[in-house]
């Protein structure tokens, strides 16, 4: 890693738009000494060399805590993180914090409990390399960040500052403005929430994080810790890191919004009130416990958070817009109390919420969790049995069992990862009000996979039915129909493209003339020329699903090299366009060759 000059901008000045593919992720958790992080990565992403199919996970959210690495060595997870790359877990999120004993603040801002944060956070961040590092080694949090970012940057894209810093002990986090104790109009006391420290100390963590991470890894993103309350976001945005009340001074010039690029939030619609509302007619709650309403709840919290961002100018006008990720979400597969809970509701929720994320600019969704902590009979809480896999702690690798949710995830990833949600094509589908879904554009830019279902609207039921016909303009006469368990069964059927009967379970449809091999191709890139045929300038478009070494060349019909457009250059994930003027070349057939690492794709370009 080449050390950059200390960052001289903030998120009030710039936030690099994130154009990577949507990634489904998981929280790996701890499942006993039998399971190393490499083993969990294999379960998440799959590992062909070990004949492990995986659960379709494309990114992961582990922790790199000072409490562990500061004790056992900062190199402890290097092999595991390298393995993430090897199995295709990229653009990862890491949540940071949690000091070891020697680095922990000893002051009690809350009478009964010491601060959970690092000591010395108000010492200078930088010291001009006086101790061998560019950061001030006595600022324990800055030193900790230096140690992890310099080691793990290549496998991390999002650095999430703490996990659920707004975990509420007071009961005031959810309250709206105008109610007693609400956080929109009152500042939480240290005893009110998880950190047991003044909120200005959390803003200070954000400031240190932004300066250190952006200096060491300017292409990475700093995320506010997975928030659950819009009111706590309001708290962050109206305080500086000034320990004297969070006010603006020359030393503390900016509010907390200047020190993060990414709004990361946690959403569990079964417990946040999304699935019920109060009715005066019955003097009680009306319940709407089904998967479509749960998806709506996920988006409602995003809207609440966006409203706060807009109020403080983070709407793309005054300040740049934030990037969005969700680092914990799920609904239960077993009912506890009044909460939603069924295997079919959870199964239906997963593809629906992934589509909703892509439709609403959310770049990642990390499921809680990779595996169950308990068996269904032993579980005392729904959070103990939300996994893609069954309980792992009393078995060893090779004995694991993928849950229905894991099969659903594997199918969704197999059929849609690397394809992009297409809002224009979705609009052209003219979906009836009782049908949910969308269109995903393939890498060739011409074909599509469609995700469709009948919307549910009955409490504690996933039963629904609707009819849909593809527009004649799409040219589909027959389509292939695949269901949630395709990753296991490989079952499919061919049906007519009109009067398709849908249920509450999402299905995957594509033109029946397309080969299954093409649909399931594990592409890492695609290649296209536009216009083609061409008279003058051609735009050669390609897209990478991961960073790679790229060579792009043009040959004539005799195999002679005409032009080397890209000569083995390193390119990050994303879409690229390379223009080439063919005006002076004779008419005929030319070959464009794209080499991405060891893989090659070619297309023919006709010069008129």
Distance CA 412, CA 415 (A): 5
Position 2 scores a pLDDT of 42
pLDDT-derived band at 5, boundaries 50, 70, 90: low
Instruction: Say if CB 161 and CB 205 are below 8 A apart.
Output: yes
Predicted model pTM: 0.90
Percent with pLDDT over 70 in the chain? 97
pLDDT at 385: 97
Give the pLDDT band (50/70/90) at residue 576.
confident
- Strands 92-97 and 156-161 turn out to be parallel
pLDDT digits (tens, 9 = 90+) for 446-502: 899 999 999 999 999 999 999 999 999 999 999 999 999 999 999 999 999 999 999
Model confidence at 4, pLDDT cuts 50, 70, 90, reads: low
Give residue 1's pLDDT band: very low, low, confident or very high (50, 70, 90).
Answer: very low
Q: Residues 93-114: pLDDT tens digits?
A: 999 999 999 999 999 999 989 9
The 10s digit of each residue's pLDDT in 165-181 is 999 999 999 999 999 99
460 CB neighbour count, 10 Å cutoff: 14
pLDDT at 155: 94
What's the whole-number average pLDDT of the chain? 94
pLDDT value at residue 519: 64
Is the omega angle on the peptide bond into residue 44 within 30 degrees of 0, that is, cis?
A: no
Q: Which whole-number Å values give the CA distances from 350 to 332, 345, 368, 472, in the listed order?
A: 11, 9, 12, 30
**pLDDT surpasses 90 at 522:** no
3-state DSSP assignment of residue 218: coil
Tens digit of pLDDT for each residue in 265-284? 999 999 999 999 999 999 99
- % of the chain exceeding 90 in pLDDT: 86
pLDDT of residue 446: 84
- Cβ–Cβ < 8 Å for 510, 449: yes
Give phi and psi for 243, each to the nearest 5. -65, -15
Degrees to nearest 5, angle at CA 353 with 348 and 358: 140
pLDDT tens-place string over residues 110-126: 998 999 999 999 999 99
* Phi-psi region at 90: left, alpha or beta (left = phi > 0; alpha = psi -120 to 50): beta
Closest CA to 398 of 7, 47, 23: 47
Residue 86 CA to its chain's centroid (Å): 19
Distance CA 293, CA 119 (A): 44
Contacts of residue 22, defined as CB under 8 A and 6 or more positions apart, other chains included, come to 354, 357, 358, 362, 363, 364, 365, 421
11-59 per-position pLDDT tens digit: 999 999 998 889 999 999 999 999 999 999 999 999 988 999 999 999 9
Tell me what the mean pLDDT of segment 186-191 comes to. Answer: 97
Q: What distance in Å separates the CA atoms of residue 169 and residue 191, rounded to the nearest whole number?
A: 8
Angle between helices 230-237 and 199-216 (to 10 degrees): 80
**Residue 533: cis peptide before it, omega within 30 degrees of 0:** yes
Predicted confidence (pLDDT) per residue in 193-215, tens digit: 999 999 999 999 999 999 999 99
* Distance from C-alpha of 297 to C-alpha of 494, rounded to nearest angstrom: 35
User: For 340, phi and psi rounded to 5 degrees?
Assistant: -60, 150
């Amino acid at each position: 890693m080449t050390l950059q000059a200390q960052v001289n901008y903030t998120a009030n000045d710039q936030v690099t738009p994130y154009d990577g593919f949507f990634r489904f992720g998981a929280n790996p958790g701890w499942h006993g000494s039998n399971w190393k992080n490499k083993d969990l990565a294999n379960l998440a992403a799959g590992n062909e060399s070990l004949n492990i199919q995986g659960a379709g996970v494309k990114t992961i959210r582990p922790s790199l805590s000072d409490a562990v690495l500061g004790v056992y060595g900062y190199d402890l997870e290097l092999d595991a993180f390298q393995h993430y790359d090897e199995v295709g877990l990229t653009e990862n999120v890491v949540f940071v914090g949690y000091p070891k004993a020697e680095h922990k603040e000893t002051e009690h801002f809350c009478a009964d409990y010491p601060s959970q944060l690092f000591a010395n956070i108000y010492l200078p961040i930088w010291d001009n390399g006086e101790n061998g590092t560019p950061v001030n080694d006595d600022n324990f949090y800055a030193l900790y960040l230096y140690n992890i970012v310099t080691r793990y940057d290549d496998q991390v894209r999002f650095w999430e500052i703490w996990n659920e810093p707004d975990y509420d002990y007071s009961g005031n986090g959810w309250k709206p403005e105008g109610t007693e104790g609400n956080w929109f109009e009152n500042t939480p006391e240290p005893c009110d929430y998880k950190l047991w420290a003044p909120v200005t100390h959390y803003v200070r963590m954000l400031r240190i994080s932004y300066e250190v991470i952006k200096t060491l890894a300017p292409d990475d993103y700093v995320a506010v810790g997975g928030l659950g309350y819009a009111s706590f976001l309001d708290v962050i945005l109206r305080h500086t890191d000034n320990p004297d009340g969070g006010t603006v001074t020359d030393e503390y010039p900016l509010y907390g919004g200047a020190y993060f690029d990414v709004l990361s939030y946690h959403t569990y619609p079964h417990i946040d009130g999304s699935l019920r509302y109060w009715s005066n007619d019955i003097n009680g709650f009306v319940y709407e416990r089904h998967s479509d309403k749960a998806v709506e709840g996920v988006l409602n919290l995003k809207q609440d958070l966006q409203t706060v961002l807009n109020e403080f100018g983070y709407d793309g006008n005054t300040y740049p817009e934030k990037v969005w990720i969700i680092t914990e979400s799920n609904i239960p597969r077993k009912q506890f109390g009044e909460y939603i809970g069924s295997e079919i509701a959870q199964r239906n929720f997963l593809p629906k919420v992934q589509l909703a994320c892509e439709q609403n600019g959310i770049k990642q969704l990390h499921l809680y969790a990779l595996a169950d902590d308990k068996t269904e009979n032993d579980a005392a809480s729904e959070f103990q049995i939300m996994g893609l896999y069954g309980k792992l702690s009393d078995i060893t690798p090779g004995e694991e069992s993928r849950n229905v949710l894991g099969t659903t995830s594997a199918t969704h990833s197999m059929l849609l990862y690397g394809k992009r949600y297409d809002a224009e094509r979705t609009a052209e589908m003219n979906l009836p009000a009782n049908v949910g879904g969308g269109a995903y554009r393939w890498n060739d830019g011409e074909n599509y996979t469609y995700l469709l279902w009948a919307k549910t609207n009955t409490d504690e039921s996933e039963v629904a039915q609707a009819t849909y016909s593809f527009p004649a303009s799409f040219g589909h006469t027959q389509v292939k129909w695949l269901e949630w368990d395709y990753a296991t069964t490989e079952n499919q059927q061919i049906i007519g493209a009109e009067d398709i009967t849908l249920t509450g379970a999402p299905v995957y449809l594509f033109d029946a003339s397309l080969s299954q091999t093409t649909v399931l191709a594990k592409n890492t890139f695609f290649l296209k020329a536009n216009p083609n045929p061409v008279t003058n300038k051609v735009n050669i478009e390609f897209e990478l699903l991961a960073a790679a070494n790229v060579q792009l060349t043009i040959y004539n019909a005799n195999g002679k090299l005409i032009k080397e457009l890209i000569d083995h250059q390193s390119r990050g994930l994303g879409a690229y366009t390379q223009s080439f003027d063919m005006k002076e070349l004779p008419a005929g057939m030319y070959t464009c060759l794209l080499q991405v690492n060891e893989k090659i794709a070619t297309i023919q370009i006709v010069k008129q």
